[in-house]
A = this chain, B = another copy of it.
Amino acid sequence: MSIETDIKQKKFRSAYQRLALNLIYTSNWLEYKQLEFFKEYDITSQQYNVLRILRGQQLNPIKVSDITERMLDKNSNTSRLVDKLLAKNLAKRSSCPNDRRAVDVLITEEGLKLLEELDPHVDEWENRFNVISIEEADQINAMLDKLREADH
């Protein structure tokens, strides 16, 4: 369904205005879909994101501030996000030996198991993107990067 129909707006001032609204609308849609999806596994997409980052570290511990750097939402309160994972035994914390201000975070066996359980479903979930070709996806990616580039 076109963004025009979705938000019942017949015309836009420009293709750029439509794009801005469409980006936010589509991202909201995507986040809502993810919310629904992850709800079954009792985690949020943010928590999943952190788990993926932790697994990506190849089991090396990673500092809280490094997690933040890798997150989609840089303003997110990583400290409290890690708390949630800790409470669910999906991650563990230990103080960092070379910098006593920092805190090392590591994924647990249970966290790894959850990700492994999720992997096939996430793959399947991403199949919805197949309606556009890889070339098209690459194209959008490049243009989105370009958009943010103009940030000065």
Question: Which residues of A does B touch, CB under 8 Å?
Answer: 1-3, 6-9, 13-33, 56, 69-73, 75, 123, 126, 128-132, 134, 136-141, 143-151
Expressed in whole angstroms, the Cα–Cα distance for A103 and B20 within the complex equals: 30
B-chain residues with CB within 8 Å of residue A26 when the two chains form the complex? 23, 27, 144, 147-148
B-chain residues with CB within 8 Å of residue A128 when the two chains form the complex? 147, 150-151
Our pick among B14, B134, B145 for the contact of A126 (Cβ within 8 Å) is B14
B-chain residues with CB within 8 Å of residue A141 when the two chains form the complex? 3, 15, 18-19, 22
CB distance from A20 to the nearest CB of B (A): 7
Known contacts A23-B23, A71-B7, A129-B19; is A143 also within 8 Å of B150 by CB? no
